[in-house]
Amino acid sequence: MAPNQPLTETEVERIRADFPILQQDVNGQPLAYLDSGATAQRPVQVLDAERRFLEHDNAAVHRGAHTLAALSTDAYEEARATVAQFIGAADPAEVVWTANATDALNLVAYGIANASRGRGGVDAARFRLEPGDEIVVTEAEHHANLVPWQELAALTGAVLRWVPVADDGTWTAADAEAVIGPRTRIVAFAHVSNVTGMVAPVAAVVAAARAHGALTVLDACQSAPHRPLDVEQLGVDFAAFSGHKMLGPNGIGVLWGRSELLNALPPFRTGGSMITTVTMESSEFMPAPERFEAGTQPVSQAIALAEAVRYLQAIGMERVRAHEESLARRMLVGLAAVPGIRVVGPPADVPRSGLASFDVDGVHAHDVAQYLDAQGIAVRSGHHCAQPLHRRLGLTASTRASTYVYTTEQDVDRFVQAVSEIRAYFGADA
């Protein structure tokens, strides 16, 4: 099978067999799990990898000289190397383990805040923000890639600016280029929108930022699990994503950064494991990645995330992307035939991630989700941690269906059929 072809029905069924949670009924119906954009399910290979480590090799890493300590440290660092290779990092030391993507983005924002207060010395001077400097985001950002930059602006006197979105929630390279200017120091944006599924014009944004000497920070939460991600090729300076959205466990995320930037960025979380020398007066910090991994590390979670990466690599990320784009087209075409449905984001003929957020005329998103749940279909309802975007779209909330490697065409068809019944059920079609 060609590396860019969607998964076959037989292949998807074989994948589904690896996910115990999918082998159940919900409310008397076979489970159609369409909420992977929030949290993906885990295959037995990932569950077994973490359990195997905990049963045989568990110990504190980078501490102790006993056998289990050595085994756990080796496994921990091998996991880092596996993830680094998966995202095209030049060096495993450019991969920092965090609690999640939100934690990773805060690490960068508060590290820059510390640099702006004079921490980090000469090496950190490149990060310092002055009043009037600009931080650029988009109106479509998840709160995790908005609120930290709001706080950084408040702490430093920098100005937060944003790229506006169109009526469908999308934005263009030209929109970004119109906002990025001589005072821009940071441009932070999502690779793929968690609401619209839009794939950002990364190359154009990076070029515009570089033209003004600005850093680029990529929220890769909705891209790393669903399409090939090569951070070197993309040209960004930092990227963040979470394990639980890509078949891995909760409690672990990844911050990737260029080594020269990570080693110059002051840490904002301090304590054990990240220092070289401590006196009663001061401390000196280790190089990256250890300088950002204070305290007890998420060892078993890293092991499990590496196994999730291997699982995805065995499928092939181009095929993952093709499978989900195919499902997205099927979903969008189906929803377009249902009266009273407004889907936000790119149209069906524009490549997007395998998700769709929509509004049902006359029915609240939470009622939509509850109706679907009664049919055994799990979706997300709410503002999806993107209140400014929903406000711009004139919505208080939307319903989101999101797919993954284990999603079948039948899941999508069941979903579309159930959506077609909602307005009549609630009497909103009168």
Confidence of residue 348 (pLDDT cuts 50, 70, 90): confident
Residues 6+ apart with CB under 8 A from 404: 36, 40, 41, 225, 226, 324, 354
Q: What order do you get walking across the sheet with 253-257 strand by strand? A: 95-98, 253-257, 238-242, 215-219, 184-190, 134-138, 159-163
Two tokens at 242? 């979470």
In what helix (H) or strand (E) does residue 276 lie, and over which residues does it extend? strand 275-278
Distance of alpha carbon 353 from alpha carbon 402, whole angstroms = 9
* Alpha-carbon distances, residue 316 vs 226, 321, 387 (angstroms): 10, 9, 34
Query: Which residues are known catalytic residues?
Result: 385
Question: Does the pLDDT of residue 25 top 70, yes or no?
Answer: yes
Domain locations in the chain as residue ranges: 9-42+316-425, 49-313
Pick the CATH number of 9-42+316-425 from 3.50.50.60, 3.30.1380.10, 3.90.1150.10, 3.40.50.2300: 3.90.1150.10
49-313: which CATH architecture? Answer: 3-Layer(aba) Sandwich (3.40)
Which pLDDT score, from 0 to 100, does residue 1 have? 62
The tens digit of pLDDT for each residue in 147-176 reads 999 999 999 999 999 999 999 999 999 999
Instruction: Decide if 422 contacts 361 (C-beta within 8 A).
Output: no
The tens digit of pLDDT for each residue in 183-241 reads 999 999 999 999 999 999 999 999 999 999 999 999 999 999 999 999 999 999 999 99
